[in-house]
Amino acid sequence: MNAEFILSAAKPEQFIKTDLPEICFAGRSNVGKSSMINKILGRKNLVKVGNTPGKTRLINFFNIDSKYIFTDLPGYGYAAVSKAERAAWGKLIEYYFAYRQNLALCVLLLDIRRIPNNDDMKMISAMKSRNVPLISVLTKADKLSNNEKVKQIKIISESSGIDKENLIVFSSVTGQGKEQIWQEIVKTNLSL
């Protein structure tokens, strides 16, 4: 599979023009978005993985085999960000969800060890209000035992209102969940 970085956009005018189905990856800062994109593409360093949270401040566009566009959205909820930066982030994301015509699938990442917070819930409703298919992926599953995983899936499902069956358990260390994510991505080529 050929995957290429296209550009980083700080403003809507910089968003690429394309008719390809677009898949966006969204979630809290440090939840594992960049790691997931690398893992499902089988690439080590296509996307920079941050030691410092909040590393991805721009919307990064990738061309996947000239079949899909992937976008790595900047993570939300990073505390050490100025008010002005947060406002700029909010505007960029708002614009992205409101006007991105070719958006075919949103992948929302949630840390399997944490209860979804207010920002996560806002993200879910922003995606739902656009009627774009949404899948929720629980990241860093390798950090929990099987028992703990079952417990967390239940807690996250109850607190977010997302059915357990619709939560994909994922790890960018083991690759667990990779095929399930691809199944959802492949469907988008049929729907646009």
Does 133 bind ligand GTP (CB under 6 A)? Our answer is no
User: 3-class SS at 91?
Assistant: helix
Please identify, among the stretches 48-56, 60-68, 91-99, 122-130, the one whose residues bind ligand GTP according to the rule CB under 6 A.
Answer: 48-56
Q: How many CB atoms lie within 10 A of CB 96?
A: 20
How many whole angstroms from its chain centre is CA 64? Answer: 16
What amino acid occupies position 22?
Answer: E
Which span sits near ligand GTP by CB under 6 A: 12-20, 54-62, 129-137, 153-161? Answer: 54-62
Phi, psi of 124 (to 5 degrees): -60, -45
What is the CB neighbour count within 10 angstroms for residue 82? 8
**In sequence order, what E strands does the chain have?**
3-9, 22-27, 59-64, 68-72, 103-111, 134-139, 167-169
- Closer of 46 and 149 to Mg ion (Cβ): 46
Shortest distance (Å) from residue 147 CB to Mg ion: 30
Residues binding ligand GTP: what is the number (CB under 6 A)?
23
DSSP of 6-23: EEEESSGGGSPP--S-EE
Instruction: Using the minimum distance from each CB to ligand GTP, give the nearer residue, 66 or 126.
Output: 126
Among 8, 55, 63, 102, binds ligand GTP (CB under 6 A): 55
Contacts to ligand GTP from residues 162-191, by CB under 6 A:
171-173
Residues that bind Mg ion (CB under 5 A): 33-34, 56
Smallest distance from ligand GTP to CB 75, Å: 2
Answer for the pair 39, 139: CB distance below 8 angstroms, yes or no: no
Contact segment (CB under 6 A) with ligand GTP among 9-17, 29-37, 61-69, 87-95 equals 29-37
Q: Given candidates 3, 29, 120, 157, which one binds ligand GTP under the rule CB under 6 A?
A: 29
Of 28, 31, 98, 39, the closest CA to residue 70 belongs to: 39
Q: Which stretches of the chain bind ligand GTP, using CB under 6 A?
A: 27, 29-35, 49-51, 53-56, 75, 139-140, 142-143, 171-173
